[in-house]
Homo-oligomer: A and B are copies of this chain.
Amino acid sequence: MADGPHTVFIEAGKVRPELFDAHIERRLSSMKGQYLDQEAYRRMLEEEDRLLYEVYELRRPEKEGELLSGISIVHPGKVGEEYFMTKGHFHEVLDTAEIYWCLSGRGVMVMETPEGEWSVKDLSPGTVLYVPPRWAHRSVNTGSGENLVTFFVYPAHAGHDYGTIESKGFRKLMVDRGAGAEVIDNPRWRG
């Protein structure tokens, strides 16, 4: 973590992760109970604890006025019919926004509020997505074989609430039932 003004380089397709402060890897085993087809999940995990997504972070003090930023890379693949995705989370300080910039790949952001609104927005290179305060968000790679790479910025005091999504799930899921990416209701959603 640099103290003064500092720069990193993240041209599309040319991310230089060595410039980032931290590298987080999320594997299949960390997504227990999150995918709809639990039998497919179990079988896949028996074969290999695959890397689903990675985050490179620029560290800053987690206090108001600072910004946290980094690169998220969701790898391509499916668990059963359901696309690889991030855990997804609310911000612990619910009234904080986030901005995503899609650098490469194809995907969607699945979002919802505690009040029951939901939204699914397409991500392709050049898309800047505003996730307003109160919206939980999850990146999903719906592309065919490419990584979904986004740059994100959010207020540093926002924090992460993963627990709510882990126990309730998202209202909507992204699946491929043969005709490409579609949004379906999550039959296991617990309101």
What residues of chain A have their CB less than 8 Å away from a CB belonging to chain B?
2-11, 14, 58, 60, 64-67, 69, 93, 95-99, 101, 109, 111, 117, 119, 121-123, 125-133, 135, 151, 153-156, 158
A99 in contact with B9 (CB, 8 Å): no
A2 touches B128 (CB 8 A): no
CB pair B5–A128 under 8 Å, yes or no, is no
CB distance from A137 to the nearest CB of B (A): 8
Q: How far is the CA of A2 from the CA of B95 in the complex (A)?
A: 16
Contact: B7 with A122, CB < 8 Å?
A: yes
Chain B residues whose C-beta falls within 8 Å of the C-beta of A93 in the assembled complex: 65
Q: List 7 A-B contacts (CB under 8 A).
A: A2-B130, A5-B109, A7-B122, A9-B126, A65-B95, A65-B133, A67-B98
Question: Which residues of chain B are within 8 angstroms of A60 by Cβ–Cβ distance?
Answer: 97, 130, 132
Contact B9 A128 (CB under 8 A): yes
A129 and chain B: residue at smallest CB distance: B7
Task: Compute how far the CA of A121 lies from the CA of B11 in the bound complex, rounded to whole angstroms.
Answer: 17
Assembly CA distance A58 to B132 (angstroms): 12
Residues of B within 8 Å of A101, CB to CB, are: 10, 101, 151
When distances are taken between beta carbons in the complex, the residues of chain B under 8 Å from A10 are 101, 126, 128
Residue in B6, B95, B132, B153 whose beta carbon sits within 8 Å of that of A5 in the complex: B132
Is A125 in contact with B67, judged by CB distance below 8 angstroms?
no
A40 to chain B, nearest CB (A): 29
Verify B4–A119 contact, CB threshold 8 A. Answer: yes
Pair B4/A155 contact, Cβ less than 8 Å:
no
